[in-house]
Amino acid sequence: MADDLHAGYAALTPDTLRARIAAVPALAGRLGGDPAGWRAAEVGDGNLNLVFIVEGPAGALVVKQALPWLRLVGEAWPLPLRRTFFEWSALTRHGARDPGRVPEVFHFDEGQALLAMRYLTPHRIFRKAVIDGVIHPRMPGDIGRFMARTLFRGSALSLDGTALRREMALFAGNTVLSDITERLVFTDPYFAADGNRHTPGLAPFIGPLRADRALRVAAQEMKHAFVSRSETLVHGDLHSGSIMVTADDTRVIDPEFAIYGPIGFDVGMFMANLLLAYHAQSGHEERPGARDGYRAWLLEAVTGVWAAFADEFARLWRTERTGILYAPALFEAAGDPAGAEAALARVLRGILVDAMGFCGVEMHRRILGLAHVEDLEAIADPARRASCEARALETGRLLACGRADIGPGDVPGLAATIEREIAR
Ligand code: SR1
Ligand code: MG
């Protein structure tokens, strides 16, 4: 059981949820009518929490509540309820740093570990759209800019030293969820850890992967970066299931793993999920080649995310560099604007190299570790799934080990690198 369990905490059911909402006039007013008539259903399919949709005559709400344990495993794996505080803290910062890109939070109840938010409709989880082969042309630009704005504005490029250290101290409290990332992403995939699982036909590929010393070193270099480089507030779990889409809108949800970490972390984790989807496509197509167009779009999306990220990051560098790093007094104001541009290019290249490393290990852990992705899990035929996964494992290895050899940080360099690695 979580050791921060509030005395009055009670995990909600659709029935008890009605009374909980009725006691908060601001929420009850959004639903309207008699609470007895509200329709409530638990719809969560994630690894950690309860998620309810509640509908009344005047509107609807999403209510997310943390359980004092990991939903995926059960009471044997306790988790702190305080993760909802970190999620709320990150959501409010994301909302301020990239307005309109996260759901509006109407109510936060710390004791109940509960967040009531705008019900996003007709949005759907991006991962489901990808499994169905639906193109969302806005997504790469929206997510690239979201990452640039949140990651730049949470960093020492934007914040003064006092604000930065206060922010770092606040999110440093998210220890248990950071520990999950540290173990599940960077260490467990590379040995026979408890909880790991994999598709049976994959066994011949796993031995050589775990025996690859360069890969184990690369994974630990990425872990070293994650635990020691507190550069900015990262979302911490930015995968295809943390994004909701329509044809016209993109929203980012679920930042409960938020922590101060490397700028490239979110970028690489999200790219990994696009590349996992890329490799999963042959498991979803009705005949060979039927998903070629979609596969190509997923690759374009990887480079599109990076292009939008790099463009927006550069714009913020030129217009909002108000923090303690790369002070304009040393560059533009000293008559050396070219120096600021040269430094920007070096910073972007470093982010891209990091991102490729994080991308590689995320691809591995979603195939070898505890928490997999539906893109691959939904492939019913184990032999077909293993074939997709084997190719994804190899791409991850090449990106993690070869991250320093990628192009100079430009988009053609990135596209060429990824295409070359996938084609090997
Ligand atoms: C033990 S929790 C497993 C995974 O689910 C979350 O969504 C995170 O990705 C975490 O690593
Ligand atoms: Mg989540």
Query: How confident is the model over 74-87, as pLDDT tens digits?
Result: 999 999 999 999 99
**Ligand 1 pocket, residue 78 CB under 6 Å:** no
Bridge partners of 314, per DSSP, are none
Please report, for residues 156, 170, 202, 333, the alpha-carbon distance to residue 161 in angstroms, rounded to integers and kept in the order given. Answer: 7, 14, 48, 21
What is the number of the ligand 1 atom nearest to the C-alpha of 77? 1
* Bigger pLDDT: 167 vs 415: 167
DSSP annotation of 160: -
> What percent of the chain has pLDDT above 70?
98
**Ligand 1 pocket, residue 184 CB under 6 Å:** yes
Give per-residue pLDDT as tens, 149-198.
999 999 999 999 999 999 999 999 999 999 999 999 999 999 999 999 99
Residue 96 has pLDDT above 90, yes or no: yes
* Cβ(215)–Cβ(401) below 8 Å: yes
Ligand 1 centroid – CA 272 distance (Å): 15
CB under 8 Å to 13, separation ≥6 — which residues? Answer: 42
- Give residue 323's pLDDT band: very low, low, confident or very high (50, 70, 90): very high
Residue 137 has pLDDT above 90, yes or no: yes
Q: Which helix (H) or strand (E) holds 78?
A: strand 74-78
**Ligand 1 pocket, residue 254 CB under 6 Å:** no
Ligand 2 centroid – CA 181 distance (Å): 12
**Ligand 1 pocket, residue 187 CB under 6 Å:** no
The torsion defined by the Cα of 364, 365, 366 and 370, in degrees rounded to 10, comes to 150
> What percent of the chain has pLDDT above 90?
92
Residue 360: its pLDDT value, please?
Answer: 97
Region for residue 254 given its phi and psi (left: phi exceeds 0; alpha: psi -120 to 50; beta: otherwise):
left
Ligand 1 centroid – CA 70 distance (Å): 9
Ligand 1 centroid – CA 72 distance (Å): 9
Residue 10 has pLDDT above 80, yes or no: yes
Ligand 2 centroid – CA 413 distance (Å): 31
- Give residue 1's pLDDT band: very low, low, confident or very high (50, 70, 90): low
Phi, psi of 259 (to 5 degrees): -160, 165
Ligand 2 centroid – CA 69 distance (Å): 14
Residue nearest to atom 1 of ligand 1 (CA): 180
Residue 422: its pLDDT value, please?
Answer: 74
Residue 409: its pLDDT value, please?
Answer: 67
Mutation to probe ligand 1, out of 45, 51, 184 (largest number of atoms < 8 A from CB) = 184
- How large is the C-alpha radius of gyration of the chain? 22
Residue 408: its pLDDT value, please?
Answer: 67
Residue 410: its pLDDT value, please?
Answer: 66
What is the number of the ligand 1 atom nearest to the C-alpha of 239? 9
- Give residue 339's pLDDT band: very low, low, confident or very high (50, 70, 90): very high
Residue nearest to atom 4 of ligand 1 (CA): 371
Give per-residue pLDDT as tens, 230-275.
999 999 999 999 999 999 999 999 999 999 999 999 999 999 999 9
Q: What is the mean pLDDT of the chain?
A: 95
